[in-house]
Amino acid sequence: MKKKVLAALLAGCMAMSLVACGGGDSSSDSSSAAEANTDDGADAEGTVETVSPGKLTVATSPDFAPYEFYAIDEDGNPTLSGFDMDLAQYIADYMGLELEVITVDFDGVLSELQTKSVDLGMAGLSPDPARESIMDFSDIYYTGGQSLVTVKDNADKYNSFESINTPDVTVGAQTGSIQLDLANENSPEADIISLPKVTDIISELLAGTMDAAYIETAVAESYQKNYPDLEIVMEVPYDQEGSSIGVVKDNPELLAAVNEAIAAAIDDGSLEQYIADATELAAGQTYEGLLDESGNVQQ
Ligand code: ARG
């Protein structure tokens, strides 16, 4: 029953607009642009240009707890949450801008940046050198790690690169992600399937229609709390470890302001708090991670 209500809300939310619904405390409360942060200099001279004046437009892909996901509030409303979203609000406030979040699949985050339709992509994004032509990268603000994930029943079977590197094993990774590169590099013989959402990958693993998947460790651990059938079988080496913010190209003032804000959020303990809060929220009863293509909760 509750799931039905939620499904309807989510469908409505997505149908109306791509702009994030709900938002709660992670949405725009930074109305007094001119007054914000006058002591820090990031906005003092008003030199930072954004795609929509007065706003900081951020693309994200909310299938990636605890970075970004929908938490369900007391009224049953899905609310865009996660430490990326809190950090986005912090950066917007720091720059004296109003935050606007656009939700798309992860490959959409990359193309929004490439087409310069948004200012930032905040999606647990890896500073992959292959992306340097379409975006700039902020300083690293979080370090996760990569994992190979399966379900408990298969944990003895799929526990090495060799064991999954065969055509009769289906191996998943998110479309456009570095995890897909890791799958291609480490298990080239496998039947590699790319799906637009990490939550789709998780539901395929749980349904037994996918054997193993490459997922960021922090994200796998988060979903594992809600779906204990998942098993992280091994760590996967990756040489560009860490998450950064994708910044629209050719806007060095914006890049500098974002790096300044990240440093401030680390220094004053905000980021640490956001990570703790998001980790807790993602593991709570109110969280539902499995959404289908239309944003409906899967049964
Ligand atoms: N860190 C990986 C990458 O940059 C995956 C990011 C996926 N993010 C998301 N919100 N689904 O390719």
Residue 153 carries which DSSP code? G
| Ligand 1 centre distance from Cα of residue 44 (Å) | 33
DSSP 219-247: HHHHHHHH-TTEEEEEEE--TT-SBEEEE
Q: H helices of the chain, where?
A: 2-16, 83-95, 106-114, 161-164, 178-186, 198-207, 217-226, 252-267, 270-283
Q: Which atom of ligand 1 is nearest to the CA of 60?
A: 10
- Asked if 3-143+242-287 and 146-236 have one fold, the answer is yes
Residue pLDDT, tens place only, 94-130: 999 999 999 999 999 999 999 999 999 999 999 999 9
> Residue 143 has what pLDDT?
95
> Residue 16 has what pLDDT?
34
Cis peptide before 167 (omega within 30 of 0): no
**Looking at the predicted structure, is the pLDDT value of residue 179 above 50?**
yes
Spatial separation of the C-alpha atoms in residues 67 and 83, rounded to whole Å: 5
Residue pLDDT, tens place only, 264-287: 999 999 999 999 999 999 987 544
**Looking at the predicted structure, is the pLDDT value of residue 190 above 90?**
yes
Rounded average pLDDT over 192-203: 95
> Residue 285 has what pLDDT?
52
Residue pLDDT, tens place only, 26-84: 333 333 333 344 444 454 346 899 999 999 999 999 999 999 999 988 888 888 999 99
> Residue 173 has what pLDDT?
98
Q: What percent of the chain has pLDDT over 70?
A: 80
Name the residue with the closest Cα to ligand 1, atom 8.
123
> Residue 47 has what pLDDT?
81
> Residue 76 has what pLDDT?
80
**Looking at the predicted structure, is the pLDDT value of residue 133 above 90?**
yes
**Looking at the predicted structure, is the pLDDT value of residue 182 above 90?**
yes
Q: Specify the higher pLDDT residue, 237 or 34.
A: 237
| Ligand 1 centre distance from Cα of residue 197 (Å) | 10
Q: Which of 110, 126, 202, 217 to mutate to test the pocket of ligand 1 (most atoms within 8 A of CB)?
A: 126
Q: Which atom of ligand 1 is nearest to the CA of 123?
A: 10
pTM: 0.84
Spatial separation of the C-alpha atoms in residues 214 and 149, rounded to whole Å: 6
CATH code that applies to domain 3-143+242-287: 3.40.190.10
Q: Which atom of ligand 1 is nearest to the CA of 243?
A: 1
Name the residue with the closest Cα to ligand 1, atom 12.
177
Q: Specify the higher pLDDT residue, 117 or 295.
A: 117
**Looking at the predicted structure, is the pLDDT value of residue 144 above 90?**
no
List all residues whose CB is within 6 A of at least one atom of ligand 1.
61, 63-64, 67-68, 106, 123-126, 174, 177-178, 198, 216
Residue pLDDT, tens place only, 249-268: 999 999 999 999 999 999 99
Give the pLDDT band of residue 299 (cuts 50, 70, 90): very low
Q: Specify the higher pLDDT residue, 64 or 5.
A: 64
CATH code that applies to domain 146-236: 3.40.190.10
Please state, rounded to an integer, the average pLDDT across all residues of the chain: 85
Q: Please calculate the CA angle 56-251-31 and round it to the nearest 5 degrees.
A: 20
> Residue 40 has what pLDDT?
47
Query: Domain limits of the chain?
Result: 3-143+242-287, 146-236
